[in-house]
Structure 1
């Protein structure tokens, strides 16, 4: 994982890549493939195996419906395998010819926003992955304000209510939330006594190594303002937290209060289980990252300048904002009615 850490990848990325690389090495062992010199046909066979071979059943009931990976997941796994072999080639463990077979030239007929094709279009030809399923681009999920309020109404604990509300208001990533420390919560009208010049209640998001594996993706520290209601919810949570003596010495904001080990920082698996339970009660999907999409969409739709929204979101590139702005059904209906009204006015 040294290559990933050197590139500044998050703990979650390390864990995901470790599982995918282990899957590749296991496949090679079981099928007699030299992992350092796989042929193109063997890698294509692995890609097919990923979607054709059923996954181990999670149910103990006999006759349970088999589960399969989708083609998008297979693409992600093979992409990691390609990165792994490329890194191994740089270490001298894999021949360069193995890496060269993984890509092929591709001419970009349509370029993404911000792409510089060159004066003569010389940069339109790029190296693209050779081993990949053609899949439709997945849509990004987000939550409306009504859905967020509905979800909050199903929280039964002050900690969970504060976590959901904080994600919805600030748009921070779940890793950034779980990595918050009490010193990052500047909820006073004036934080000068804390050595902070920022006015009004806000949180600070900083990249650190944390014992629970939480990791801020953005390298640059930033602060994000919060609403007065968020401050009140934090006060409720602090009162709830103070009833658990084991939590007193932990500097992390979000800690285990209801299950062992009490007082320890919350980790990703238990947090995702929390959101699964809330989603089941609410009757719709509600993953932590959906709140980030919702917050950024709300900022942009409310007229917040894109550069301000980009700064609060912790995005380095303006193009990173594009997937986070969503159109509602009402937006589409309003657009059609606006055009119809103009046509009717023109005829009159």
Structure 2
């Protein structure tokens, strides 16, 4: 919406396609909406036609993103406050990864607009994150290769430095659990750390999704051992939507089962909560028995961060789980399946070396070299 709270029709049409036609999650659409809002505001101030930008105009927008910090800040979110006008910031206002993500959303919006006739297809065709040379098929009748004019797509990618994801140590996770004031909150922290589920996936779990028994054959499930099923549902009361459209099975540890049993004993003692089909519900605040929302879990971690004295967010536990599994197994395909990623390339970021591992490797090499002498 603009400053007068009038909906931007083209942006709204694109977001509806993301949700309804492409099956993107609500979280993805929310993130894209924020990125597109930045672009539309900048385009209006810069006099740029938002549906048909040129590559040099997107480059100007990228530089603006790097130099202009966000003015928004919400508790529990990683938002930058407006910089002090008297202080000159030496570093970029946004990381290269963030700038690249915003540009990717803008390019996708422009290409969607080209399919709707909002701009010439050639405008969208020239926007890309890599340079591509397009050649015509081989002319077999002449026995030689004919080339059509080379189409070079302008590159707007920013220099990006790959950094490991933010994780928490086992001691920090233990501190978070100790800082919880009830069994439900402890179970939420343990669940995120022990399964690597996304927050929306945890909030969308139904009681029937949990098979915390040695065998669930009597339920028609052939998976052995304690496990849970992650299922994408469009009708969740709290709007929690699993990102992947494909269901997956995640193994559950005995320790998590014990934590679950302690929570269920407390939960089922509250009549409105016992009647709910959802796993996580309100137990103390009205309306009691209502499904727990993603925002409620994020606010929980804000409180836990204040109690423990270090920054902790729900998604950091997912990164921690993935890093632990990746370092233990060295198997990206296994991490991919556990996390529900669409591509194995998404798990490469978790296969990073830690300082302790590098120190041990160097010390081991030095000892072996000394023994050889």
Counterparts of 2:349 and 2:256, CA distance in 1: 26
Q: Show structure 2 runs of 5+ residues with no match.
A: 1-14, 75-80, 86-91, 133-149
Alpha-carbon distance change, 332 to 307 in structure 1, aligned in 2, over 3 angstroms: same
Tell me if structure 2 keeps the 8 A contact 1:55–1:66: no
1:137 and 2:137 are equivalent in the alignment: no
- What are the equivalent positions in structure 2 for 1:159-308 lying under 5 Å apart? 159-209=184-234, 210-303=236-329, 307-308=333-334
Distance 2:151 2:258 in 1: 52
Larger mean CA deviation between 170-179 and 47-56 belongs to 47-56
**SS of corresponding position for 1:203:** strand
Q: Which residue of 2 aligns with 1:11?
A: 26
Structure 1 residue corresponding to 2:71, chosen from 37, 46, 56: 56
CA contact (8 A) 1:171 1:296 kept: yes
TM-score (norm: length of structure 1) = 0.82
CA distance in structure 2 between the aligned counterparts of 1:239 and 1:137, rounded to whole angstroms: 44
- Per-residue deviation at 1:339? 0.7
Q: CA offsets, 1:87-142, max 9 Å, x none?
A: 111121121232234237538xxxxxxxxxxxxxxxxx997762343242233122
Label 1:230 to 1:132 Cα distance change in 2 as closer, same or farther (>3 A): same
Where in structure 1 are there 5+ consecutive unaligned residues?
108-124
The alignment's C-alpha RMSD in Å is: 3.1
Task: Report how many residues are paired.
Answer: 328
Match of 2:101 in 1: 76
CA distance in 2, matches of 1:157, 1:165: 13
- Give distance in 1, aligned partners of 2:58 and 2:71: 22
When normalised by structure 2's length, the TM-score is 0.77
- Equivalent position of 1:116 in the other structure: none
Could you say what secondary structure the match of 2:131 adopts? strand
Q: Residue 3 of structure 1 contacts residue 87 of structure 1 at CA under 8 Å; is this kept in 2?
A: no
Judged with a 3 Å threshold, the aligned counterparts in structure 2 of structure 1 residues 37 and 304 are, in CA distance, closer, same or farther, namely: closer
Q: CA deviation at 1:254?
A: 1.4
Q: Deviations over 1:173-222 (max 9, x none)?
A: 22211111111111123322322222222111112222323222233322
- Cα distance in 2 between the residues matched to 1:75 and 1:244: 47
Provide, for residues 61-96 of structure 1, a one-character-per-residue CA deviation record: whole Å limited to 9, x for no partner: xx9854994143333222211110011111211212
Give the whole-Å Cα distance in 2 for the aligned partners of 1:290 and 1:224: 18
**For the structure 1 residues 126 and 289, does the alpha-carbon distance in structure 2 shift closer, same or farther, using more than 3 Å as the test?**
farther
C-alpha distance in 2 between matches for 1:266 and 1:176: 12
Which string of whole-angstrom CA distances, capped at 9 and with x for unpartnered residues, describes residues 315-340 of structure 1?
44433332223433321111011110
Aligned equivalents of 2:334, 2:164: Cα separation in 1:
25
Determine helix, strand or coil for the equivalent of 1:250: coil
**Cα distance in 1, alignment partners of residues 60 and 259 from structure 2:** 53
For residue 303 of structure 1, report the CA deviation from its aligned partner: 4.2
CA contact (8 A) 1:167 1:291 kept: yes
Secondary structure at the aligned position of 1:106 is classed as coil
Closer/same/farther in 2, CA of residues 106 and 229 from structure 1, 3 Å limit = same
Pick closer, same or farther for the CA change 1:81–1:260 going to 2, 3 Å.
Answer: farther
Q: Does 1:333 align with 2:347?
A: no
334-343 or 32-41, larger mean C-alpha shift: 32-41
Does the CA-based 8 Å contact 2:323-2:351 persist in structure 1?
yes
Q: 1:329 to 1:105 in 2, by over 3 A?
A: closer
